[in-house]
Every structure is written in C-alpha cells, then in structure tokens.
Structure 1
Amino acid sequence: MATPSSSRSGADRCPGLLTPFVSADGAMVRLRVPGGRVAASTLAEICSLAGAFGDPDVTVTSRGSVQLRGLPDPLPRELITAIGDLGLVPSGEHDKARNIVADPDAALDDLVAELDAALLADPGLAELPGRFLLAVAGSSGPVLGEPWDVAIIDEGGVLRCDGGASKGGSARVLVDGRSVVVDRAAAAQAALEVARRFLAARPDARTWNVRDLPPEARVDLLQGGTACVVEAGAPPAPGPVGEDLVALLPLGLLTPTMVTALVEVLSASRGSSQSSSHLDERGQSTLRLTPWRSVVVPGGAAQAAELETAGFVTRPDSPWTILTACAGAPACTRTSTPTRDLAREAAPLLDPTGPPVHVIGCERACGHPARPHATSPTPASAADIVAAQRSPLRKA
C-alpha cells in the first residue's frame, strides 16, 4: 500500500531505492505493492511513468506487484524521484523484503497494512531474502495456494487444526504445517517474529525460504504451534463478483488503453452504491492486484463490456485463464524465443477447460504459476504450445 510521502523527494528519502535489472533491451524495475492494494490514481501514475521512460506496458507479477521494463540505464533521477514520491518505496533498505501476497478481500486490508508497517519498522527484517513470502488470507483463501513462508489467516474456520478454529477477533499464524491462534491485533507481530527466527536460523545467504532450512530448525520457528492442514480455495475467476469485477490481464500486461479504461470505469462508478471499503484514506478507489495477474475493479461489474473492449478478460471461459508466458524475447536476453507473441497466436487454439500451460524461453521458467501446469519450452510455433497442453509428458 502507498505510504504517505515526507517533505523530502523520493530520491532523497530513499537513496539507492531502485536497483534495476539491466539487459541489452534496457533496465527493469520491480515495484512491490504489498497485498496488491494500490490506489487507482497511483496505478495510473505508474503507467504514465512507464510510458514516459520505457515500455508503456506495465507487467503485473505473480506476487501482485508491478514491473517497469525498457528503462534507461542508469535510471533518470526524475524517474527515481517520481516513484519515491508515490510512496511505493518507503524504505530502500526494506524494499526486497516487502513481499506480501493477499486475498483480494477488503476485509483484509487492515491486516495487510499492519503487516507492511510492522515490517518496515524493524531494521533487522530488511535482511529477509527477496524470495521470502508473507501471505494474508481469509478462510480457505486462494492465496494459501501460493508458495508462502509465513501466513496469517483471518477467521480460519474451515482449517483442520489440532488447536481448533480461530473465531471472532482472532487470527491464525501458520508456518511449515504448524499454526497458533493469536488475537487479530497481534497477528502481524506474531508472523514477523517467525521471520526473525528464520533469519536467526538461516545458515547462509542461499537459504531463501523456510522450506530450505533443515527440519530441526523449522520446528522452532513457531512457539507452541500445533499441526495444521491448509485448504486453499480456487483463485477468483474473471467476471462479476457482486458490484465488483475480476478482470484478468492477458500475459500479465497492463497497457495504456487498459489503464485509461480503468480510470473511466472508476470515475463512472463513483457516487454509485459502492461501499466505502473500496476507498482508501484519501477517498480514492482501491484496486486490488492479485497473484493470478488480475485486478479486482470496485464497482466495475456494470462496465465489464467496456473493460473487455480495452483488453481485459472478463469471462471465465477465456483461454487466457489457462495460458501464461515468461517475458521472452526481445524483453529478455536469455532467450531468442518470442514467448508472448507465440502465446497470443496459440490462445484461440487452446482448450479453456484443459490444463494450464506456461510458455517459457529458457530453463529458468520465470513467471510460472503455482498451480499444476504443462510447460511449453522454447516453442517454435503456436502448434508447439497446443501440443504441450495435450501432452502429459510436458506437465510440470
């Protein structure tokens, strides 16, 4: 979530706040958006900066954050200052540690904000690895299907746990198959205490996640924990959810046309019956980016047709619900395979009811979904992608 700016500029407030990845096609910057919560106006500003300095299409990641690609190297000071002033990098030291995924439920907004604020307030937690993932979920929340390290579950009534179900003002903190029930107000600190124990037990810099620790070290991460089995729900399918709309981004790309349509839809929905839970502290509409490369648009159900015309997917029977791809060439210099272009050619030929398929340009398989899926490595044509979906030998 955006943090209010101080009187200093973004660059002065966070010296060295942006460390870009540089390729032959320009620099890439990742902006972490904890829990995917972002004001619509902030997202519009991000997209405007992308178009002004690099590739105008913004990438939404599998952690509900965003990437700006094709940027100059070195990064212009004007860009660094503008990003800092948006409040998206409130601490340069903690930037890599701010990996929080969350269900796109307004009832969880306060837990996401509390977790992010508590993380930023602890200098020691800046040492968390960039792959360490914190999750905030509701009962059987779909985000529990992601590869998290520590999770907070609000109202976890359907969890099968030795300690019983959390109720009322309680939450459950989970790590490595064990959980404890705590007061909801204490959940953020309880989760971060696990993160501190992880750092204390971490033997080296290549130990990225809880699952990388030896079993005897993992046992001590959660004091008083009891065995717990997580039941994750299915990610929200594209389409209306009450007055709101789940709008999928094909290939995770948010284009200028799509952003313009979002702004227009949100302007049209203001003053309607949308609840105040859709507004942030400044009275602006809150969008929720999801780990499944979609965006929950408050009050957007009535304008689904307009958003689909702009490029969003708003129907659950679209092939884009089962098709993903890494950046590929020319955006990534590790491959000569134009994965996204081939995915676009293959989309009309795929079975939307078949297994998901992920197109990759090299062995790193970047951007792959957490769900079971087939892979299409370095395809030469759209036909190779179709064949991968139909071949059990290609399943990951």
Structure 2
Amino acid sequence: MPASPHRQRPDACPGAVEVHPAADGGLARVRVPGGTLSAARLAVLRTAAIELGDGSLELTSRANVQLRGLAAGAEVELGARLAEAGLLPSLTHERMRNIVAAPLADNQDLVDSIDAALCSRAELAGLPGRFLVVVDDGGVVSGLGADIGLDRVGSSWVLLLAGADSGLRVADPVEAVLRAALAFLAVRAEHGGTAWRLAEIDGGVAEITRRLGGPVSADRVPVRASRPLPPGPLPDGRLVVGAPLGRLDSDQSGALLAAERVRLTPWRGLVLPRTITLGHGLITDPDSPWHAVTACTGRPGCAKSLADVRADAVRHLGLPGGPVHWSGCARRCGRPRGAIDVLATADGYLVDGQRHEDTAAAIDAARRKQQ
C-alpha cells in the first residue's frame, strides 16, 4: 500500500451498533475475533437477520459477519441481542476488534486473550476500524497484510508489522500485540493522526520496531500470499464450506446450525468440526466454479456501485481457481489481497486494469496465470 498520510476523514467502517446507511437499509458489521461461533451464537445472528434485516448473513474478508437491510433504529435491538449473546463485549471498542486467525490452527484461546487485552485499554478504542491483527501458524494468513501479526515458526513467535517480518521475536504474544497497538497510536498521532493503516505512515514500521525494543533478527521469515482453503472434507474429519459470493441466506445459515460450532475464514467460508450433510447451495466441492469468487454488494444495495456485480458474477462463472473479486466501484470494498480485480466502470468491466471483449474469458486466463 502506498504511503497516504493525509486522510481527509476518519474511516467509515460500520460496527454492530454504529451502522452504515446503505441504499438497502442499515448495514451492521459484527466482529468475530478469530472467527469461532458456537451454534447458539450463529442462531442469534441468523434470527436477528431474519427479524431485523433482509434475512441474509454476509461473510467478510476479515472473518466477520454483516447484517443488511436494517430499518432505522433496529441497531438498538440488534445491539441488545448481541450483548446478551456475548457478541458485543465492548461498545467502545467493537469497531477495532478485527483479529483474523489461521482457521485450521488451535489458536482461539490466544485470540480471545489478545481481544481481551485490546479491549482493556481505553485508548485503543481509537484504533481505526480498518486496523487488522492476524494470528498465524506457518504463514496461512500472514499474507493478508495485517497491521500487526503473529506467526508461529517452530517454537518462536515472529512479530509482523504492516504485513512483513519486523525481525522481532517475542515470548509473550499478547503483550507484544498490545504494545505494538499502543505504539501505532502514538506514531500515528505524531504523523497527524489521520492514517487508517500502519503501511500508510512513512517510517512507521521502523519507528514502532525501535519503540518495542529488543534484538532484531537478521533472518526474516518470508510472507507468502494467502490462498483460500478449498471447500470439501479434510483428512481429520473437518469440513470446509463455501458460501456463494460470501452470502448465507436463511436456509443456508439454518443448515449450518447442525454443527456445534463454525469457524469463519477470511476467504468468506467456514470450517465445521465434522462432516455433515448441508445442501441448500452451500459449496463443498473443491472443483466448484464458485470457489474463491467474491463480490461487493453492488447495485441496488450500494448507491455508489456502477453495476449489479453479484448478478454479473453469477453470469460469468467460469473455471475454478484462484481468488476473483468483483467490485462495483473503485473503492473495491472487501477485495481480498491478491484476488483478480474485476472492476465495474461506466463502460463495462476491467480485469486487472485491462478492458476485454469477453470478461469471462479474461478472468479464466488470469486464473490460469495464477496456477
């Protein structure tokens, strides 16, 4: 990300009670640090979507959940339901609780400890809504470009800053994330207090590394691109499930309640603890053309969109392969890092910045290059 320290406004990321007024009604984003939801909590979200919104649950590229179509004032009732279910532990900090974890690793307890530590410091409520923390195990999600990251390499914890190995090795991962977040706020303030991400602050990584102190390793762990988990059963009995375009309708979310818990992934999918029969259009075939295809809301739900990108994505489904994201405007909301960029313009679509006579063929060609 290029340095861009002169933001003219704060980020407008919605929260669970601080909703965004979209064209189709209020948009609420419920943070699920680490992505783990019990069946009971998933049922709370599903019922709220049906009774207060449009009935759907949207999975985000940060393993969170969005509810759409909320009537004016519905966020009050939604907040009460989420708080009762334990999904809203802090009204002041809920927008900054973006913690993505490697979804197949045993790391939810660590995520919970990091979340609690971040919420315990009043000043950290000032972290931008786009600020991201990752907890990794072997480079699965480190490529998402987090502001602060942890990656377990052997017996060591590598501290990532702005998506790259800082050279710092930490013994207490919770304390390391907490100190790095506080250092970010301090450095951000010194640079005008407008940056949304660490990568936007010139020299920010070096300054935070200096403030954290300690020896800096000359051996840096390379960060590779994060690849979506293919849907289907895993050797240990777990099941990876995809949601078409990252959206669960009420039948699909209802089918998932048969699992005692689900774990959301940053590729808009889910991991179930065991294989169950689902149906309802949920994706469990690794060769499905739906795999790794995502889209923003598009028309008519978003007033800024130039196209009904969801409908167009369905019409242009082609070869399965690497991630593809359809964007209705140049903001590219929710685009996964490294995804093929399909961008709506007033004159049709661009694929990775180029116009083609056949959009579907261009996407297939780009996917073949990724392999």
The reply to whether TM is greater than 0.5 is yes
CA distance in 2, matches of 1:326, 1:312: 19
Among residues 176, 179, 189, which one is paired with 1:190 in the alignment?
Answer: 176
The correspondence of residues 114-125 of structure 1 with structure 2, limited to 5 A, is 114-125=113-124
Which structure 2 segments of 5+ residues have no match? 1-14, 350-356
Alignment: residue pair count? 337
Which structure 1 segments of 5+ residues have no match? 1-15, 158-166, 267-284
CA displacement 1:262-307 (0-9 Å, x = unmatched): 123x2xxxxxxxxxxxxxxxxxx3311000011001112xx2xx32
CA displacement 1:132-173 (0-9 Å, x = unmatched): 110101122x2111020111123x13xxxxxxxxx1xx4332
CA distance in 1, matches of 2:212, 2:18: 33
TM-score normalised by length of structure 2: 0.84
CA distance in 1, matches of 2:36, 2:335: 22
CA distance in 2, matches of 1:129, 1:83: 22
Following TM superposition, by how much is the alpha carbon of 1:256 offset from its aligned partner in structure 2, in angstroms?
Answer: 1.1
Give the letter for the 1:343 counterpart: A
Give the letter for the 2:320 counterpart: P
Following TM superposition, by how much is the alpha carbon of 1:333 offset from its aligned partner in structure 2, in angstroms?
Answer: 1.1
> What residue is the counterpart of 2:325 in the other structure?
358
Q: Is contact 1:144–1:230 with CA below 8 Å preserved after alignment?
A: no
Q: Does 1:370 align with 2:337?
A: yes
Following TM superposition, by how much is the alpha carbon of 1:386 offset from its aligned partner in structure 2, in angstroms?
Answer: 0.5
Q: Is contact 2:17–2:75 with CA below 8 Å preserved after alignment?
A: no
Give the letter for the 2:159 counterpart: V
> What residue is the counterpart of 2:45 in the other structure?
46
The correspondence of residues 220-259 of structure 1 with structure 2, limited to 5 A, is 220-224=210-214, 225-227=216-218, 228-232=220-224, 234-241=227-234, 242-259=236-253
The correspondence of residues 58-137 of structure 1 with structure 2, limited to 5 A, is 58-75=57-74, 77-137=76-136
Following TM superposition, by how much is the alpha carbon of 1:23 offset from its aligned partner in structure 2, in angstroms?
Answer: 2.5
> What residue is the counterpart of 1:261 in the other structure?
255
Name the SS of the counterpart of 1:230 in structure 2.
Answer: coil
CA displacement 1:207-260 (0-9 Å, x = unmatched): 122211222535425422334233446332111112110001111101111122
CA distance in 2, matches of 1:44, 1:385: 39
Following TM superposition, by how much is the alpha carbon of 1:107 offset from its aligned partner in structure 2, in angstroms?
Answer: 1.4
Name the SS of the counterpart of 1:22 in structure 2.
Answer: strand
Structure with greater helix percent = 1
CA distance in 1, matches of 2:339, 2:280: 30
Question: For residues 344 and 17 of structure 1, do their structure 2 counterparts lie closer, same or farther at Cα, with a shift above 3 Å needed?
Answer: closer
- Percent identity over paired residues: 37
Question: For residues 219 and 121 of structure 1, do their structure 2 counterparts lie closer, same or farther at Cα, with a shift above 3 Å needed?
Answer: closer
Q: Does 1:319 align with 2:319?
A: no
> What residue is the counterpart of 1:172 in the other structure?
158
Q: Is contact 2:316–2:360 with CA below 8 Å preserved after alignment?
A: yes
Name the SS of the counterpart of 1:177 in structure 2.
Answer: strand
Q: Does 1:212 align with 2:200?
A: yes
Name the SS of the counterpart of 2:100 in structure 1.
Answer: strand
Q: Is contact 1:178–1:222 with CA below 8 Å preserved after alignment?
A: no
Following TM superposition, by how much is the alpha carbon of 1:366 offset from its aligned partner in structure 2, in angstroms?
Answer: 1.0
Q: Is contact 1:35–1:112 with CA below 8 Å preserved after alignment?
A: yes
TM-score normalised by length of structure 1: 0.79
Give the letter for the 1:352 counterpart: P
> What residue is the counterpart of 1:147 in the other structure?
145
Question: For residues 95 and 334 of structure 1, do their structure 2 counterparts lie closer, same or farther at Cα, with a shift above 3 Å needed?
Answer: same
> What residue is the counterpart of 2:273 in the other structure?
298
> What residue is the counterpart of 1:286 in the other structure?
261
Q: Cα RMSD (Å) of the superposition?
A: 2.4
CA distance in 2, matches of 1:254, 1:240: 20
CA distance in 1, matches of 2:23, 2:293: 27
> What residue is the counterpart of 2:360 in the other structure?
386
Q: Is contact 2:61–2:336 with CA below 8 Å preserved after alignment?
A: yes
